[in-house]
Structure 1
């Protein structure tokens, strides 16, 4: 660490302090405070110092004479961690209540599932992610079996970026009426025959990047076990045959204009399908317009 940093101006340490206390930023108490803006505008050095202080790992920045015994520091850090986890879980449970009804239920919540849920969720401090964990808890209690432990473990490794990508994919996704099979339609084509082989309009491929979901995003979702990276196809539709989809709460019909028309799409994994239920319906109308225009050669699309 550079000698130009005055650690004592950044970190205040009390060796006599034995009770665990969450330390706030050292700023003018009379000034408006915003931890997010403060962290965002601080240098990388100061951000590390602030994090070290918050998690009671700041002793190394102080003169040895001012350092509390390492046993005390370890105990204090453990207590701070326990308090933080307790605060996180209380916030998540409080949020979950808001998503539940007060009606009587026939199925009792699985305590083993809840115990695993607590272990995985207790380290989540971000408010947006806490809200998603609260929805998982409310959904599982309301309908046991909605979220598997494998899904919870996958979700635990996700960050805000991945959650936003999932939300974007959901805004483009079509599903069956039960939302058991969720997919993002990527194109369509007619099975090649002797009569249509040289027809340049036989195949249409959507540029999902225009809708805000690049192939790199799809690969990221695939790495998080939320979506398959390889395209899948529908069955071959006869002329006039219809497929009905649910598009974020709206009914959308695809009717084949010709014989042997096929839809292509990226399909959500079972884990991605479970987590998609956390995302509020938020249809992307521009994507629906693109579908109607780009696939008009082979399909008539109505909603």
Structure 2
């Protein structure tokens, strides 16, 4: 999870060169009015001016006699934009090379997929996100078909905050041995019967909120097509029947302690499962201990 947790900082060039005297005058006046407040950063107006300058959108702020012709400003913006996109893609390629093998052979990469990749990644300047795009590229080149173009488009729409939510979900998730399905166990219960209907311990639930993954976070992941928000259940299991999972690199076995025990979980979508490959194993030991305790009435949880 080291990559996900890197600081999310986009380089922002603040210049002291006045873009417009009237604008600077307004900024100075606002600063005087708020003299009793402690300045801890750059004003929103100055940030906007810096962004406009960096993206060549400040031409209309200059006085008429100093403005470049609109056509020239348009051409300059197109040139600067193309250079920025080229710089972003070259940075991603440079990072991706480090994730590729120089000795292992792979099937021929799909040129159409690569073209789509470049179109979607060319505006990514955040270094953390660039690193994830580099991992996607390396994964697809090493094993074609690992990441669909649908996954690329969904990932492009994700923010760094949503990527961190995915990382948190992965830290709580288990995978099947074949790594086809990824799930977050949400609880367990024993199917109702005459003997247990009034038992207070018949159903157990796991509150994710105490592990920094609230239901609202699950909704965000669902909106990004990463998890299914509808809880899924296993079929009722016989006593001593087992589930075998992998928990962030650790083998995990769940053994039914009674008959008719059911496991509840949230399941990752195919897109979520593909993007989960970008996340390094990061075991949350506190959650694992809580899982063992929470579903102990229905299942025993054995590591190894």
Same fold (TM over 0.5): yes
Higher RCO (C-alpha under 8 Å, 6+ residues apart)? 2
Secondary structure of 1:10's counterpart equals coil
Question: 1:9 Cα deviation (Å)?
Answer: 4.3
The equivalent of 2:257 in structure 1 is 257
Question: 1:164 Cα deviation (Å)?
Answer: 0.4
Separation (CA, whole Å) in 2 of partners of 1:84 and 1:238 = 60
Question: 1:283 Cα deviation (Å)?
Answer: 1.1
The equivalent of 2:126 in structure 1 is 126
Q: Is the 8 A contact 2:129 2:160 kept in 1?
A: yes
Q: Is the 8 A contact 2:92 2:133 kept in 1?
A: yes
1:57-100: CA deviations, max 9, x gaps? 11122111111111110000001100000000000001001111
Q: Is the 8 A contact 1:240 1:257 kept in 2?
A: yes
1:143-165: CA deviations, max 9, x gaps? 00000000001001001011000
Question: 1:105 Cα deviation (Å)?
Answer: 1.6
The equivalent of 2:138 in structure 1 is 138
Separation (CA, whole Å) in 2 of partners of 1:177 and 1:124 = 34
Question: 1:104 Cα deviation (Å)?
Answer: 3.9
Separation (CA, whole Å) in 1 of partners of 2:84 and 2:231 = 43
The equivalent of 1:92 in structure 2 is 92
Please list, as runs of the form range in 1=range in 2, the aligned pairs for 1:1-303 lying within 5 A after superposition: 9-11=17-19, 41-303=41-303
Q: Which runs of 5+ in 2 are unaligned?
A: 1-14, 21-39
Between the two proteins, the alignment pairs up a number of residues equal to 270
Q: Which runs of 5+ in 1 are unaligned?
A: 1-6, 13-39
Secondary structure of 1:201's counterpart equals coil
Secondary structure of 1:48's counterpart equals helix
List 4+ stretches of structure 1 deviating above 4 A: none
Q: Is the 8 A contact 1:10 1:49 kept in 2?
A: no
Q: TM-score, normalised by structure 2?
A: 0.87
Question: 1:231 Cα deviation (Å)?
Answer: 0.5
Separation (CA, whole Å) in 1 of partners of 2:129 and 2:75 = 28
Secondary structure of 1:100's counterpart equals coil
Question: 1:8 Cα deviation (Å)?
Answer: 8.3
1:5-53: CA deviations, max 9, x gaps? xx984339xxxxxxxxxxxxxxxxxxxxxxxxxxx92111111100000
Secondary structure of 2:230's counterpart equals coil
Q: Is the 8 A contact 2:106 2:143 kept in 1?
A: no
